[in-house]
Amino acid sequence: MSKIKEVKTIGILTSGGDAPGMNAAIRAVVRTAIHKNLRVKGIMRGYAGLLQEEIIDMESTSVSDIIHRGGTILYTARSSEFVTKEGQELGAKICKEHGIDGMVVIGGDGSFKGAEKLSEFGVNTIGIPGTIDLDIACTDYTIGFDTAVNTAMEAIDKVRDTSTSHERCSIIEVMGRNAGYIALWCGFANGAEDILLPERYDGDEQKLINRIINNRKRGKKHHIIINAEGIGHSSSMSKRIEAATGIETRATILGYMQRGGAPTCKDRVYASIMGAKAVELLTAGKSNRLVSYRHGQFCDFDIKEALAMKKDISEEQYRISKMLVR
C-alpha cells in the first residue's frame, strides 16, 4: 500500500471567469487549513500569477470580511502559457519551490484541465466548480449560479415594466456561454413568453414572429424573449422581428452585471462547504478530484472523469417551460 502524501502547505487560486461566492470558498479553504495546522499561500491572478510567482502568505485575518463580497480577492486571469506542457511543468516546479504540496483551484472546466496537469506533475490538486454557467456535468451546483440567476431575474423584471409601458417586444440576453441554464431559470421565474436555449433552439425565427403577432391579437401588451448568450445576435434579431411584426422591439444584453454583486445565502453556504471539503480531501491524501454537489449530497469526482461527462438541459424542466410560456 502506497503511503499517503502528507500535505503541509496548501496553495489556492481562482481562474477563468469570476463568480459570486468565490470569496466564501477562499475563506473556507484558508480557515479550514489553518484549523488543521496547515500553511496557506494565495496565488494571485490564477495560473498566470503562478507562473509569475505572485504568491502571498495567507492568515485567518487575510479572509476577514470577504464572505459577502462578489468577485475574488485573489483576482483572476487567463494564461495561454499554462496551456503548454512547458508552462505546466514550470507551474508545478514553482509550487514545489514555494513548498506548496497541495493546491485548490476554483474555476470552470478550463481551470480543471490545468489542475489535472498539476496533479500529474506531483502537486496534489483539488478543483472547486466556480462558474455562473452551471455547465460542469458532474455537479448540480456551481458557485455563482444562484447569485447570477437572481441578478438576471431582477433585471428582467425591470425591463418588463418598461416593455409593458411601451407595449414592446423585448429580447433580453443572459450569460451562460453555451449553456442555457440561466436563460431557462429566468424564463420560468420571469414568466417569459419565449425562451431560447442553445441546447434546444432550432433557429426558426418565423415561429417566434408568429407567436408575437398572435399574442398581440389576443391582447398581450408585451412579449419577453429570454435569449441565451450561446445563441446571441439579440440586436440583429430585434431588428428583424420589428420589421416583420411592426411591433417596437428592443434588445437588452445584461452582460457582466450577472457576474457581480454580493453572493446569495446559498452561494455563501455551499461555497464554504465546498472549500472546507477541498481541504479535507487534500489532508486525506487525495488528488485530481473535483468537489461536487449531486443528488443533495456534497461529494467528489475524478477530474478526468468529470471533464468527460456531458451535461444537457433537464428534459422535464424544458417540457414544463414549454407548457408555461404563452
Q: Which residues are catalytic?
A: 133
CA distance linking residue 303 with residue 116, whole number of Å: 7
299, amino acid identity = C
List of residues 6+ apart from 216 with CB closer than 8 A: 223, 245, 247
For 261, counting Cβ atoms within 10 Å of its Cβ (0-12 exposed, 13-18 middle, 19+ buried), the class is middle
The amino acid at 203 = G
- Rounded CA separation 72/107 (Å): 11
Cα–Cα distance measured from residue 219 to residue 216, given in angstroms and rounded to the nearest whole number: 5
Among 134, 54, 125, which residue's Cα sits nearest to residue 92? 125
The rounded distance, in Å, linking the Cα atoms of 179 and 197 is: 8
Do residues 154 and 235 touch, judged by C-beta distance below 8 A? no
Name residue 19's amino acid.
A
Cα Rg, the chain, nearest whole Å: 22
In which region does residue 105 sit, left (phi positive, over 0), alpha (psi from -120 to 50) or beta (all else)? beta
**Phi, psi at 30, each rounded to 5°:** -60, -50
